[in-house]
């Protein structure tokens, strides 16, 4: 998302859903590029976002226009959508970029088309990685330049508990489901031939 939005040094980047796995990575990757990062999260997660590099943290459900001011953000990386979308379009500067890969707060948003064309905004859907992104990401992790945020792992059979915990929004980072350990199918076949 940072790559697709063309985030560069000195730009002001607003990250919604910043306490999730994607959002926390975006915060760190944007900082790595020299951007000024404002993260939007729940009140109980604000300190963690400052620890991983956010310059400023705003509590979720705050009035972004009141807190940031109109035309103050170069790039919005939005993992939430929903009702906050209208405010995000107001805080974006002329020529701003809006990148999204999720809509956990709701996929239907209100867009005043005048804010889109009069401000010359660019909207970017992010569902796939460009070729250099994954190898670069791995190298940043290996060099300790960014830290993946893993909230908790659950065995696959605990999917209901994992979903409940996810819905409570008390975690920071990714919740991961682990498949049961199984003998690889080819090994089962080889073992059957030995009998």
Domain, as residue range, for 67: 2-142
Q: What is the reported pTM?
A: 0.86
Neighbour order of strands in the sheet with 122-125: 56-59, 36-41, 12-16, 73-78, 92-100, 122-125
Q: Which of 124, 142, 160 is where one domain is finished?
A: 142
Tens digits of per-residue pLDDT, 69-114? 999 999 999 999 988 899 999 999 999 999 999 898 888 898 889 9
- CATH code, 39: 3.40.50.720
Query: Which H or E run contains 40?
Result: strand 36-41
The reply to whether 125 and 159 lie within a common domain is: no
Give, in degrees to the nearest 5, the angle at Cα 76 between 144 and 90: 155
The reply to whether 67 and 137 lie within a common domain is: yes
The reply to whether 14 and 70 lie within a common domain is: yes
Whether pLDDT at 154 is above 60: yes
Q: How many domains are contained in the chain?
A: 2
The reply to whether 42 and 131 lie within a common domain is: yes
Tens digits of per-residue pLDDT, 123-135? 999 988 888 888 9
């Amino acid at each position: 998302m940072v790559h697709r939005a063309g985030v560069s040094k000195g730009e002001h980047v607003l990250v919604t859903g910043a306490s999730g796995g994607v959002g926390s990575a975006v915060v760190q990757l944007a900082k790595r590029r020299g951007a000024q990062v404002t993260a939007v999260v729940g009140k109980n997660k604000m300190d963690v976002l400052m620890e991983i590099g956010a310059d400023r943290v705003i509590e979720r459900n705050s009035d972004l226009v009141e807190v940031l001011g109109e035309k103050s953000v170069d790039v919005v990386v939005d993992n939430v959508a929903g009702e906050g979308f209208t405010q995000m379009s107001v805080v974006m500067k002329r020529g701003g970029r809006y990148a999204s890969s999720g809509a956990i707060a709701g996929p239907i948003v209100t867009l005043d088309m005048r804010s889109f064309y009069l401000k010359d905004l660019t909207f970017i859907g992010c569902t796939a990685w460009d070729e250099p992104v994954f190898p670069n990401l791995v190298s940043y992790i290996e060099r300790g330049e960014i830290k993946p945020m893993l909230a908790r792992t659950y065995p696959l059979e605990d999917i209901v508990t994992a979903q409940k915990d996810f819905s409570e929004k008390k975690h920071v980072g990714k919740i991961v489901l682990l498949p049961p350990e199984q003998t690889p199918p080819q090994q089962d076949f080889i073992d059957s031939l030995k009998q």
